[in-house]
Structure 1
Amino acid sequence: MSNGSDILDTFDGQSGESKFDPKLESRQLWGKIFAGFCIFATLLGLLVLAVLIFNVVNDGSSRLNTELFQLYPSRRPSESGYRAAILGSIAMLSYVLLLVIPLGVCSAIYLEEYAKKNWFTELIELNIYNLAGIPSIIYGLLGLGLFVRGLYSGRAVLVTGILTITLLILPPVIVISREAIRAVPQSIRQASYGVGATKWQTIRHHVLPAALPGILTAVIISTSRGIGETAPIVVLGAGTVLFDPKASPINFGALFSGKIGDVFTDTLWSNDNFFSVLPYQIYEWVGDPKAEFQILASAGIVVLLVLVLGMNLIAIFLRSRAK
């Protein structure tokens, strides 16, 4: 009765108008002010981003040609290009995906579908969430101490870079994949169990297909972040490796001939092979005092932006097609 009387007290018995009406206009005004502030903040951020992209494209437009993808790094700006860095980025991206997809997706499935809810799994989940927010330079130091000086005391920068970038993007892949699996309605699982399917059959035929758009988005967006990281590669010493134009970051001949062992010995574990990626090459040329190298760095930034945006567009396309 008290609740009903409180509600009736807010209205004027004669006019039927609410006693809150005198403050209604001010509340609506503050709501419009807040909405306008949000629109202004969004437009300001987009404006700053547009100005930065315009300046970068304008500075590097003179080098945006086919030679940029055909030439190797050189001491002469007119004879320099990003071919080695692009091949290195492709190589690292290929190996990272081979590690991240099974490890990340399987970890997400286990934690969400199989793991018992106790203090141990809560500790694992807490550490995964914390690892997802650690700066990339920390992963670079971890890779330097664990992989370079610990597991392998040589200069196989490619394999150490692959493992370090894999550690960097693995936590967000696990977190986002878990959220995608968790978003699958329980009614789908119960319906599958009701017709006699096992847990693995339910996950394989119903849960994973339903969660596939979110998992693909997690993998591609996290990988695009990893491919643009510079700090871990610099810490690992990628710039100290000399380049042999005859070498390739991936031994395609051994790969297609079925000699998988040669792929690892000739590319991953080779001390003499070159390893560089687009972010590091850009970082190196941005700091060069020659204006020609800075123009070349601007062109590389445009290439990297197109690569990252392209990967995000692929994620959006796959997400829409998988629905």
Structure 2
Amino acid sequence: MREIRALITVGGRYVGEAEPFTVDSPWWNHVEPVTAHLDRALGVTTSVLRLVATTAPAMRDGVVTYQVEADREPAGLDRGAEHEFPDHPLRLPWARPGGPAELVAWAARHVRLTGRPVQVKTWNLSCLYRLPTTRGAVWAKATPPFMADEGRVIGLVASVDPTLAPVLLAAEPGRVLLAEAPGHDCWRPTGEVVDRIVPRWVAAQAALAGEPRLRVRGVEPPGFGLPGTLLHGDFHPGNWRSGGVVLDWGDAHWGNPALDAARLVGFVAPGVRAGVERAWVEAWLEHRPDSDPAEALRHARPASHLVGALVYQEFLDNIEPSERVYHEGDPEAERERAQSLAV
């Protein structure tokens, strides 16, 4: 459970603090319950711009202070203290005054809204809105320049399997508009879900293999006959939908496909790992019968954590100080995991 302190601004000007409140969701970047409460309590439309401070050391719980933007000045705020919000050169567009509204306005140029947009998530890696439209719910997502261009990556995936990636309604560098992907998130995947998604992703990777079309991270475990190809980069089942679509392509890069499998194997529960490894190895043997995917995966397990260390360090190098709390200590933890799995 989070206790919320909301520092309200209008056009970047501090106008007061809302009465503190709690929300059941523990995750700092999950702001849908935060704005829902504030909209009801204050009678205005709000959006969370950024995290200002927190008392907890992880991504959840504690007392969390946000800078919140309102569309007009509400009554009943506490002006007992003054707060200033100086800009920072690493602040992302959606964390600045008017940023969330600009993302929604961009989306509204491509779809017809039928209700109030809902800000679901915001932090240093994305700002995500669910939008009611004449074609059902759609999702507007903004991402930072140090991550992959999701529109481009989704286009690559869709070129070989249109059912594997979400339907792209509009895109430009740094933001995408996506149709709703059917089903639910697969944090605890069944064997049936693994057998339905893993072989299709392997088939797409086999079809896309060749010269790099995205950046290479610089960690390359032995291939054992597997080709360089497009990697999702964060291929855990929380990014899968039960309908078969894979989401969140911002970590995509080019490299050994065993790195994606290693990320997946390290994420799932121990009782599921054997089934995941079997599905992945059998799928690659169908496409590359002269390869040794099992050995490639064994070497990729520690290497995947070295990639993780690089990724987390990139986050820390490119986000403003108040948001570093999301990732502090992660590069070191990933290097320790790599060492513990060293082949």
Q: RCO (CA 8 Å, sep 6+): is it higher in 1 or 2? A: 1
Structure number having the greater helix percentage: 1
TM-score range, shorter chain: under 0.3
Give the TM-score taking structure 1 as reference length: 0.25
Task: Kindly name which structure, 1 or 2, has the bigger radius of gyration based on alpha carbons.
Answer: 1
Higher strand share: 2
TM-score where L is the length of structure 2: 0.23
